[in-house]
Amino acid sequence: MEYDDLLHRTVQSEARCPLCVLMEDREFEVISQLQYTVTRDEAVRRSIAHEGGFCDFHFRQFRKIANSETNAILLITMVNEYVRHRWATNITCRICADIARLEKGLLDDLARLLHLVAFRHLFAESGGVCLGHLSSLQERCKSDELAMWLGETQIRQMERLMPDLVAMRTLSYFDATHSQRSCIVRVVEKYVGRKALGL
Ligand SMILES: [Zn+2]
Ligand SMILES: [Zn+2]
C-alpha cells in the first residue's frame, strides 16, 4: 500500500528492475544523510565502529559518495575504537538493514499489485524485474497462475533485450542509441541486481 504510487511510476518510466532502481535511490539518500551525521556526531561514528562499519558493497558506495575528509573522520574513529577495544568484528551494516526493510515493503506491495489485471498489463510492457527479485516475487504469489505468468513474462521481457544486444556487437559506442548502450547494464542487472551498477 505504502509504495503503490511509487511502484506504478517506476514500472511505467524505468527500463530497469523497478525494485533495484528504488533500492539504489534509497541507498544514495541514506548514504548522503549518513555522511553529514558522521561528520558531525562522534556518537554515530562510534556506533558505526561498534557495528564493524558497513558491508563491502556499502563501504565502497560510502567511500565514493562522501569526500575524503568525511571518510578519514569515520575511519579515524573506527581505528581508534578498534585499537582501544579490539572487538571481534561482526559486521551489522546499518545501510543493509535500511534497504532490506524497503525491499520487503516493495516486494509485498508489488506482489499484491500484480494481482490487478491493469497493473499486470503495465508490468508486462516494462523491462520487468531482475532474476533475484523474480524469485522473491514468485515466492510471495498467492496463486500458481500468477507465479507462472511472472515466469513467462520474464522470458518475453528478456527476449526483448536481444535486438539491442545484437546491435551492440557491431555499433560503435557513439553510433549506438542510449537504449542500445544501456542494454548491457540492463542484462547484467537481470542476473546480479542493482549491484551490477557502480555509483
Ligand atoms: Zn531487482
Ligand atoms: Zn550493507
What's the confidence (pLDDT) of residue 198?
Answer: 61
For the segment 43-53, the average pLDDT, to the nearest whole number, is 95
Does residue 101 surpass a pLDDT of 70? Answer: yes
Give me ligand 2 centre to Cα 134, in Å. Answer: 21
Query: Measured in Å, how far apart are the chain's first and last C-alpha atoms?
Result: 29
Give me ligand 1 centre to Cα 16, in Å. Answer: 8
Ligand with an atom nearest the CA of residue 106: 1
145 φ/ψ angles, rounded to the nearest 5 degrees = -60, -45
Give me ligand 1 centre to Cα 192, in Å. Answer: 8
Cell of 93: 551494516
Give me ligand 1 centre to Cα 87, in Å. Answer: 35
Per-residue pLDDT band at 24 (split at 50, 70, 90): very high
Give me ligand 1 centre to Cα 8, in Å. Answer: 15
Ligand with an atom nearest the CA of residue 136: 1
Give me ligand 1 centre to Cα 50, in Å. Answer: 30
Query: Coil, helix or strand for 116?
Result: coil
Give me ligand 2 centre to Cα 172, in Å. Answer: 36
Q: Are 126 and 7 in contact (CB under 8 A)?
A: no
Does residue 71 surpass a pLDDT of 60? Answer: yes
Beta-carbon neighbours within 5 Å of ion ligand 1:
17, 19-20, 130, 133, 193
For residue range 107-163, what is the model confidence (pLDDT) as tens digits?
Answer: 999 999 999 999 999 999 999 999 999 999 999 988 899 999 999 999 999 999 999
Task: Tell me the C-alpha distance between 44 and 100, whole Å.
Answer: 21
